[in-house]
Amino acid sequence: METVHINGKEYPVELILKNRGRSASARLRDGKIVIRIPKRAPESERTKIYENLRARCIRSIEKGRWREKKKLKLEHGGKVQILGKEYEVKVIEGKNRKVKIDGNMIIARTPDGNGIAERLGRAFLPEVEKRTRELNATHFNSEIASISLRNNRMRWGSCGRDGRISLSTRLLFTPPEILDYVIVHELAHTKVKSHGERFWGLVAKAMPDHADKRAWLRKNDSEIPTIVCRPKPPRTAASGAI
Ligand SMILES: [Zn+2]
């Protein structure tokens, strides 16, 4: 594995050749630059893509634009803030993976400590759903096909053409009014797809101080944890495979 030095720090660069998908990507993970390139890209092109992405990563880290996102690990006896409320975490050993909310306790059952965080999103979905339906009834009155929480790192939310709203589980670790802003944003997309004047007008009508919320998200992005839920190591190409 190649190592690059940026601002006096060492960063290994890992290359993963992915079987699926068409686009290449780069990410900072556990102090490592991870570059993913589709296997279908011709070998001559892979080197070019790799070098390009690596150069871009180095520039971003140098300029401090690219910081690693915090990760959340749930531990027995630990405390976690979710949607503005503090919960105590209890981890019980058991055969099935399950997360239950009981008052101010999060009870997680797992055989090996893995996969708990992923289920946390599911446990809080009813609360997020309720909030979305309330905001929709008050401001938009749109047809909503479904609401889901996904462990998405790159986007806070999305709204499909058919009224499918998807929100990032990372929003669980933001203050409730921030979650409300992202919900309002996606609900506004049920009326207007693009981010034009009409769109922002709808957002402003439902939430006059939406600009503050957006500024908060930009400022705190790297501090809002990503849930760790990947017990299996990713498929890795042998280093120097390009
Ligand atoms: Zn949008």
Q: What is the pLDDT of residue 67?
A: 67
Task: Report how far ligand 1's centroid is from the alpha carbon of 160 (Å).
Answer: 11
Q: How far apart are CA 66 and CA 228, in angstroms?
A: 19
Task: Report how far ligand 1's centroid is from the alpha carbon of 196 (Å).
Answer: 10
Task: Report how far ligand 1's centroid is from the alpha carbon of 157 (Å).
Answer: 8
- Whether 49 contacts 24, CB under 8 Å: yes
Task: Report how far ligand 1's centroid is from the alpha carbon of 217 (Å).
Answer: 14
Tens of pLDDT, residues 214-232: 999 988 887 887 765 333 3
Cα separations in angstroms, 208 against 9, 191, 201, 212, 214: 43, 18, 9, 9, 12
Q: What is the pLDDT of residue 238?
A: 42
Task: Report how far ligand 1's centroid is from the alpha carbon of 108 (Å).
Answer: 34
Tens of pLDDT, residues 155-185: 899 998 889 999 998 899 999 999 999 999 9
Task: Report how far ligand 1's centroid is from the alpha carbon of 195 (Å).
Answer: 6
Task: Report how far ligand 1's centroid is from the alpha carbon of 204 (Å).
Answer: 13
The answer to whether domain 114-226 has CATH 3.30.2010.10 is yes
Would you list the domain boundaries of the chain? 2-62, 114-226
Bridge-based pairing state of the strands 79-82 and 85-93: antiparallel
Task: Report how far ligand 1's centroid is from the alpha carbon of 14 (Å).
Answer: 32
Task: Report how far ligand 1's centroid is from the alpha carbon of 41 (Å).
Answer: 31
Q: What is the pLDDT of residue 231?
A: 34
Task: Report how far ligand 1's centroid is from the alpha carbon of 186 (Å).
Answer: 6
Q: How far apart are CA 25 and CA 31, in angstroms?
A: 16
pTM for the complete prediction? 0.69
Task: Report how far ligand 1's centroid is from the alpha carbon of 239 (Å).
Answer: 38
Counting as low any pLDDT under 70, the low residues of the chain are: 65, 67-69, 73, 113-115, 117, 227-242
